[in-house]
Structure 1
Amino acid sequence: MDRNGVSGPIGVVGLGTIGQRWAATFAHHGYAVSCYDPDPARWEAFQAILPDLSADLEKLAPATAARGAIRFSSDLGEAMAGVGFVQESGPERLELKQELLAAIERHVGEAVVIASSSSALLVSEMQAKCARPERIVLAHPFNPVHLMPLVEIVGGRDTAPEVVERTRAFYEALGKKPAVLRKEVTGHLALRLMGAMWREAIFLVESGVASAEDVDRAFCYGPGPKWTLQGSFISNHLNAEGIESFLTKYGKTYQDIWDDLGDATLDAPTIDRVSGEVRTAIGPRTDSELRDARDAGLVELLRVMTQRAAL
C-alpha cells in the first residue's frame, strides 16, 4: 500500500519511551508497524502500555482507518525487511547513532527515508557513516510523542531537500504539526526556546525572586494560554495595533528586561534548591497521578487547539 508517499510498513528502531509512542501513533493511523529493539523486554513493556496509548490516541483523534498491525523482532534485518519509512529512536550517543543509521541502511530500500528522533545531535554528524546520507533526516518529536503534535524537521549537510519535504508531508498527513528548520542548530527549536525560558526560571528561583510554584503559575496563567493558541509572535501582534506597533511601543521594555536577564549554573546548591522547591510544589501527589492528569488535560487542550489555534 502506498500512502502519503510511503510504501510498506513503518519501521521503528528502538522501543524505549519515544519509540513505543511512535509505534502506537503509526498503528493508530492505519500503518503496519515493524519494530526492532535488541532487548525483547522492551516489546513486552510496550504490549503492556499499548492499550492505554491507543485509548489516548482515540480520544484525541478517532481513527479513520483500521488500526495497523504491529510486529517485533530483535533482529534488525528481519524487522526492517520491506519497510517504507524508518523512525529511528535509539540512545542519544553519536557513535551509536552513526553505526545504527548505517546498519539500518543496509536493510532497507534505496529510496526509504530514515528519520531520527534525536533531541540534540546534528544530522550532519549522524549521517557521516551512511552510504546514502541524502535520505537521513531529523524528525524530532515532543513528549509525550503520541499526543504532542510538534515534529521538528531538519536535514544535514548531505540531506536532499526533497527528503525534507517528503518527511514534512508525511508527518503532516498524520495530523502532526511539523516545524522545518532552515539550518541545523544545537537543540533544534523547541528545546532552545524552553532552555532560554527555563534558565531565567531557575535564576528567579535561585536568586529568591519567587518560588518554583509561583514561577510556573506565572507562565501557566500569563503567557501560557495565549502562546499555546497563537505562539509568541502572533500573540504580541494582537497586544498592540500590529507587530510593528508592539515592537515600537514595548521594544525598550523588552530590551531592558533582556539586559537584566540572569544566568543560571546547575551547580549542586542550585540543584538542591530548585529540587526542593519543585518537591514542595508537587506535595503529596505521585508522579503517576501527575502524568495521568497531564495526559488527560493534553487531550482536552489539544482538541481545543485543533479548532482554535492560529498556526
Structure 2
Amino acid sequence: MRDVRTIGVVGLGLIGARWAAVFAHAGLDVVAQDADRARWDAFEASCGELFAEIEALAPAKCPRGRITFTARLEDGFQAVDFVQENAPETLDLKRQLLRDIEGAVAADVVIASSSSALLVSDMQADCTRPERVVLGHPFNPAHLMPLVEIVGGQKTAPWAVEQARQVYEACGKKPVVLSREITGHIALRLMGAMWREAFYLIRSGVATAADIDRAFCYGPGPKWTLQGSFVSNHLGAGGIEEFLMKYGPTYEAIWSTLGDAELDPETRAAVIRQTGDIVGGRSEEELRVQRDAGLIAILKAQAENGAL
C-alpha cells in the first residue's frame, strides 16, 4: 500500500469542502478539484470557520497540510496518494468521473466515493482498475462527525478497503467496515428504520414530531451516543443475556406492531407543519451554529467516556 501524504479531493460542495479541511487538519496536503472556481472561492471564505470548529473538537497534533486548487483533474492529480470523490448521487456521472479520475492518478491509488446511496459495484463497472474503488461515506457535518462507512464492491480488493480504513483512522475518524454492500449502508438504514416508525406515529395520531424527537433526545439518545444500543442494554439488566430474557418478549411485541410509513400528501403536510412548529422561526444558520456547537461538546464527551 502507498504511503499517503497527499489527498485528491474531487468536488468542493458541502461534503468535499469539509473533507478537504479534515485532511489538511490531519497534516496531509490536499489537491482540491472542482470545475467551478466559485466553489473554491466559497471554500476559502469558509475554511477559517471549518478549521476553528475542527480545532475546537480535536486540537491539531501536527502542522496543517497545504490545500491547492485545480479546475482539471489532469493538473495536479498525478502526485496524489488517495482520492476522495464527492460528486452528486447520479450513477452515470459517478461512472464517468471514476474513469476520469483513473486516467489522472497512479495505478495503485485508492479512489473512495462519498456516496450515501449508490453501490460500489455499480459505480466501478466501467473502471479499468475496479479493485481500488471503495466507498468512504462520511456523516454530515463531515468535518465534525467521526463516522465513515467503508465497503468494497464485487471487484474491490481487500487491500483497498484496508488502505481507506488506515487513511480515515489517521485523520481521527471512526471507520466501520461492511462485509458486503447493502443500500444505505449501516447508519442510514438504522435512521431509516427509526424514521419510518416516527412517520407512522405521526400518521396514526399517536404523537407529534416534537414529542417524538423529545422522546429520543432525552430517552435513549444520550446513552446510545456514549455506548451504543447493545452495551447500553447490557447495563440495563445485569448483562445482555439477562436483558434479552427479561425484555426480549417486550421487544418482540413492539416489533410485531411496528407500523408502515407512506409519504402520502397528508403525511408530508403533517410532518412539514410539525417540523415548522419545532423550528419556530429560527433560521437554518441559527440551527446550524447551535447544532455544531453542541456537537463539539457531545463528541468531546463521547471521546472521553464512550465505550466504542
Q: TM-score, normalised by structure 1?
A: 0.97
1:5, CA displacement in angstroms? 4.6
Give the Cα–Cα distance (whole angstroms) in 2 for the partners of residues 12 and 169 of structure 1: 17
Aligned residue-pair number = 308
Q: Give the letter aligned to residue 303 of structure 1.
A: K
* Per-residue CA distance 1:228-263 (angstroms, 9 max, x = gap): 001111111111121111111111111110111111
Counterpart of 1:212? 209
The root-mean-square deviation of aligned C-alpha atoms, in Å, is: 1.0
Counterpart of 1:14? 11
Q: 100, 107, 112: which is aligned to 2:104?
A: 107
Which sections of structure 2, spanning at least 5 residues, go unmatched? none
1:170, CA displacement in angstroms? 1.4
Q: Identify which range, 189-198 or 75-84, moves more after superposition.
A: 75-84
Counterpart of 1:145? 142
* Per-residue CA distance 1:113-158 (angstroms, 9 max, x = gap): 1000000100011000100000000000000000000000001001
Q: 92, 117, 126: which is aligned to 1:95?
A: 92
Counterpart of 1:308? 305
Secondary structure of 1:72's aligned partner: strand
Give the Cα–Cα distance (whole angstroms) in 2 for the partners of residues 247 and 96 of structure 1: 47
Q: 116, 119, 135: which is aligned to 1:119?
A: 116
1:60, CA displacement in angstroms? 0.5
Counterpart of 1:298? 295
8 A Cα contact 1:13 1:37, kept in partner: yes
Give the Cα–Cα distance (whole angstroms) in 2 for the partners of residues 188 and 139 of structure 1: 11
Map 1:259-278 to 2 at 5 A.
259-278=256-275
1:6, CA displacement in angstroms? 3.3
Task: Go from structure 1 to structure 2 and tell me whether the alpha carbon gap of 1:7 and 1:250 turns closer, same or farther (over 3 Å shift).
Answer: closer
Which sections of structure 1, spanning at least 5 residues, go unmatched? none
Q: Give the letter aligned to residue 53 of structure 2.
A: D
Give the Cα–Cα distance (whole angstroms) in 2 for the partners of residues 236 and 188 of structure 1: 23
Secondary structure of 2:75's aligned partner: helix
Q: Give the letter aligned to residue 236 of structure 2.
A: N
Q: 224, 246, 250: which is aligned to 1:249?
A: 246
* Per-residue CA distance 1:187-224 (angstroms, 9 max, x = gap): 00000000000010111112111111110000000000
Q: TM-score, normalised by structure 2?
A: 0.98
1:53 aligns with 2:50: yes
1:239 aligns with 2:232: no
Give the Cα–Cα distance (whole angstroms) in 1 for the partners of residues 240 and 4 of structure 2: 44
Q: Give the letter aligned to residue 58 of structure 2.
A: A
Secondary structure of 2:53's aligned partner: helix
1:64, CA displacement in angstroms? 1.2
Q: Give the letter aligned to residue 77 of structure 1.
A: E
1:194 aligns with 2:194: no
Give the Cα–Cα distance (whole angstroms) in 2 for the partners of residues 39 and 79 of structure 1: 16
Give the Cα–Cα distance (whole angstroms) in 1 for the partners of residues 295 and 139 of structure 2: 13
1:45, CA displacement in angstroms? 1.0
8 A Cα contact 1:142 1:149, kept in partner: yes
8 A Cα contact 1:5 1:170, kept in partner: no
Secondary structure of 2:125's aligned partner: helix
8 A Cα contact 2:2 2:108, kept in partner: no
- Identity percentage over the alignment? 60
8 A Cα contact 1:35 1:79, kept in partner: no
8 A Cα contact 2:149 2:178, kept in partner: yes
1:284, CA displacement in angstroms? 2.3
Secondary structure of 1:128's aligned partner: coil
Give the Cα–Cα distance (whole angstroms) in 1 for the partners of residues 5 and 270 of structure 2: 51
Q: Identify which range, 213-222 or 260-269, moves more after superposition.
A: 260-269
Map 1:59-74 to 2 at 5 A.
59-74=56-71
Task: Go from structure 1 to structure 2 and tell me whether the alpha carbon gap of 1:7 and 1:257 turns closer, same or farther (over 3 Å shift).
Answer: closer
8 A Cα contact 1:30 1:65, kept in partner: yes
Secondary structure of 1:77's aligned partner: coil
